[in-house]
Amino acid sequence: MAYQTFQQEYLQIPVVTRAYTTACVLTTAAVQLELITPFQLYFNPDLILRNCQVWRLITNFLFFGPVGFNFLFNMIFLYRYCRMLEEGSFRGRTADFVFMFLFGGLLMTIFGTFVSLVFLGQAFTIMLVYVWSRRNPNVRMNFFGLLNFQAPFLPWVLMGFSLLLGNSIIVDLLGIAVGHVYFFLEDVFPNQPGGGRWLKTPFFLKMLFDTPEEDANYNPLPEERPGGFAWGEGQRLGG
């Protein structure tokens, strides 16, 4: 019974969120069990180009360090805001969501080459948080019951929290920068005088991921509470 309940809940997670979070958990589990090592996963342009170790372009986004507070913190925020985006502004637009993943991952890979970052998963999480926060500016956030602020400040609060933990903020700044580039090109520039849509999802992605019909009776989870977590909890103003 417990297994069936877990399976049912697991399969209710949107497909992109489910695939990415599962890959991150399995990768970390494989490292913990010493089936693989982080040295086989990290981003290294020389090994990618000279030794054709192309898997590093993906695996560096899947490892968040050993199991501990930092890993759990990142997984909760990754799951929460990835799911909120997929069930909110990307509802019925799975191909567009996948394209955002590809676009963000490409930019981070390019920028990561110049700042010598070897794992980009945390930056990718911050990118997701940034895009969600800019698309939900009226949501009131509560962080650990200590801080109250508007959603657009959330990425900066997370950066400050990373600084307090003694982590480098370069990762957070990279995620914010890439998230802002995507948000500007997708949400701001097309609505400007003389602007246009530069980001267009390739047709083959739409063929692979988008379903032809939408369920008119679907009632998505509220964007501010998709997973029931209290960390970074949000409440819409006036609601």
Summarised one tens digit per residue, pLDDT across range 26-66 is: 999 999 999 999 999 999 999 999 999 999 999 999 999 88
184 closest CA partner among 199, 170, 206: 199
Summarised one tens digit per residue, pLDDT across range 11-32 is: 899 999 999 999 999 999 999 9
Identify whether the C-beta of residue 183 lies closer than 8 Å to the C-beta of residue 130.
Answer: yes
H helices of 151-230, where? 154-164, 170-183, 203-209
**What pLDDT is attached to residue 8?**
85
The contacts of residue 232 (CB under 8 Å, 6+ apart) are 77, 80, 141, 142, 143, 154
pTM: 0.84
How far is 76 from 204, CA to CA, in rounded Å? 31
Q: What is the mean pLDDT of residues 107-120?
A: 90
Token pair 């990415």 in the structure block, residue: 20
How far is 70 from 76, CA to CA, in rounded Å? 10
